[in-house]
Structure 1
Amino acid sequence: MATQAFQALLQTCKHVVVLTGAGVSAESGVPTFRGSGGLWRTWNATDLATPGAFVRDPSLVWEFYNYRRELVQRCRPNPAHLALAAFERKVTEDGRRFTLITQNIDGLHAAAGSRNVVLLHGSLWDVCRADRHGMKASKPCENRKQPLVPALEGKGAPDPATMAADIPREALPRDDKGHLLRPGVVWFGENLDPDVLSRAQQAVDDADLFITVGTSSVVYPAAGFVSQVAARGVPCAEVNLESSGATASCKYTFQGRAGEILPDLLEVSNV
């Protein structure tokens, strides 16, 4: 059986690398903002999560992110997050290596206990100074205060009938020198942090088993990791609700909810 063969492989690997996507967080109640029903009000996330959108309407963008921060603050790690954290402990106790690369920005992997996590797209809890083009003008730093400023209190309701708050620029989040702040995540049209990408690529290049979980494998560069690993003859596995762009490159495929599959698959069912 595929499960038994995969589990036998798990016992011999020296560096297991896992890539997670929005499907993992969705099982904790975090919206994916993809597919049907993926709108915030009448907006696609791809229309708001850009430097240009921030320049045009920083109030609207901050409403969107205030809603996301407020929602995620109430979310908790699910069995998939917990299984991966437990597996990391198990592997490292054996003297082996484990790297978790995630496209998610919610921080739920860390909340579950994962330690060696590469945040490809940054963190929802980070903020940074914005330049006049809406780009990052300082290194992102964590700020978990919620709401970040009084003007965002109660703002960001997703109901399409909700009117935009039109918060004055001077009332939006600012640093101690008065510079306008923006979410510290990687937006559409922006490059990944070179150091973060280098760390992820080093893990991908060194993996002797690669597992992709809960991702449609359409957002690059992460979408290309599986094919890179498979091209070296290294076995890859996929855990996902449906086939994805990575399926053809995977020797093992397990279809279903990550929270239901991973605890048993990774043999950490006591999570």
Structure 2
Amino acid sequence: MLLTPHDRLFVLTGAGISAESGLATFRGSGGLWDGHRVEEVATPEAWEINPALVWRFYSQRRRDALDARPNAAHFALAQIEQRLMQESGNFYLCTQNVDDLHERAGSHRLHHMHGSLFESRCVRCEQPFPDRAFHEDADCLPRCGICGSHVRPHIVWFGEMPLDMDAIYRELNLATVLLVVGTSGSVYPAAGLVHLARARNIRTVYVGPEEPQNADAFSEIVLGPATQVLPSLFS
């Protein structure tokens, strides 16, 4: 992919890039996450019904993420960020993933639109804070040190709005190239970003092992594992 000094690259990554590091995806695991239906562990209703189950589930996801390692695709994106930030500053990475593999690979200009697995927040104060603990004891679930309210994972669940969509749209409006990596094209509003980009005549490129559901919105599709495609995409 040839980028000129005037290009501004917006990258959107999805579960596929983390799957290549061994992290399970909801879409690719028979409709289940670790044996749980999404309605049981990843919705506001699930939290209201059984916060202990939700915390056990996300504690296991924290364990899985800590065991995972960034792969060649994560490192390739960190390297192109470093190059573009030195040359022009024209780079922005938006991820649907809640793990920290991008950060551990060296990415800095990064936004987690669906929250962060290693942050929690008070349901009342709404202020996220770093949290790498495993909250698996139903009798000792975390509470806010300020107001005493329950603390939940800082995750955007199904039925909730992604974080800071206004900033995402601002960055997309500035972009000349949208690169989408490892998404199914089925989760909105993320899947709608490519349609907005095409309407603004932004070049749209997809990388993944199979075509996404919104494939018709892309001007270019490169099929293959991101770990194989991305390291050579910008060379």
Instruction: State the TM-score, normalized to the length of structure 2.
Output: 0.93
Q: Once structures 1 and 2 are overlaid, which stretch shifts more, 227-236 or 61-70?
A: 227-236
CA 1:248 to 1:41, structure 2 compared with 1: closer, same or farther past 3 Å? closer
Which is strand-richer, 1 or 2?
2
CA 1:111 to 1:244, structure 2 compared with 1: closer, same or farther past 3 Å? same
1:27 aligns with 2:20: yes
Q: Distance in 1 between matches of 2:37 and 2:45?
A: 14
1:123 to 116, 120, 129: 116
- Alpha-carbon displacement from aligned partner over 1:2-23 (angstroms, at most 9, x marks no partner): xxxxx23x23542100100000
| SS class of match (2:81) | helix
1:79 aligns with 2:72: yes
2:183 to 197, 209, 215: 215
- Alpha-carbon displacement from aligned partner over 1:223-246 (angstroms, at most 9, x marks no partner): 111111111222110001111133
The question of whether the paired residues in 1 share the 8 Å contact of 2:80 and 2:234 is answered with: yes
| SS class of match (1:202) | helix
Residue 173 of structure 1 is matched in structure 2 by 142
| SS class of match (1:123) | strand
Larger-gyration structure (1/2): 1
The question of whether the paired residues in 1 share the 8 Å contact of 2:5 and 2:87 is answered with: no
Identity over aligned pairs, percent: 39
1:182 aligns with 2:152: yes
- Alpha-carbon displacement from aligned partner over 1:66-98 (angstroms, at most 9, x marks no partner): 100111011111001000000001111112410
1:261 aligns with 2:217: no
What value does the CA root-mean-square deviation take over the aligned residues?
A: 1.7
1:10-159 to structure 2, matched below 5 A, reads: 10-130=3-123, 137-144=125-132, 146-148=133-135, 152=136
Deviation at residue 217 of structure 1 after TM alignment: 1.3
Deviation at residue 34 of structure 1 after TM alignment: 1.7
Residue 197 of structure 1 is matched in structure 2 by 165
Deviation at residue 41 of structure 1 after TM alignment: 4.9
| SS class of match (1:55) | helix
- Alpha-carbon displacement from aligned partner over 1:179-200 (angstroms, at most 9, x marks no partner): 211101111111223xx21111
Q: Distance in 1 between matches of 2:39 and 2:204?
A: 30
Gaps in structure 2 of 5+ consecutive residues: none
Q: Distance in 1 between matches of 2:24 and 2:115?
A: 17
Residue 161 of structure 1 is matched in structure 2 by none
CA 1:210 to 1:40, structure 2 compared with 1: closer, same or farther past 3 Å? closer
Q: Distance in 1 between matches of 2:181 and 2:33?
A: 25
CA 1:13 to 1:209, structure 2 compared with 1: closer, same or farther past 3 Å? farther
- Letter of the 2:150 counterpart: L
Q: Distance in 1 between matches of 2:22 and 2:152?
A: 24
Gaps in structure 1 of 5+ consecutive residues: 1-6, 132-136, 154-166
Q: Distance in 1 between matches of 2:29 and 2:95?
A: 23
Instruction: State the TM-score, normalized to the length of structure 1.
Output: 0.81
Q: Once structures 1 and 2 are overlaid, which stretch shifts more, 36-45 or 84-93?
A: 36-45
Deviation at residue 147 of structure 1 after TM alignment: 2.1
| SS class of match (1:176) | coil
| SS class of match (2:104) | helix
- Letter of the 1:103 counterpart: Q
Deviation at residue 36 of structure 1 after TM alignment: 4.0
Q: How many residues align?
A: 234
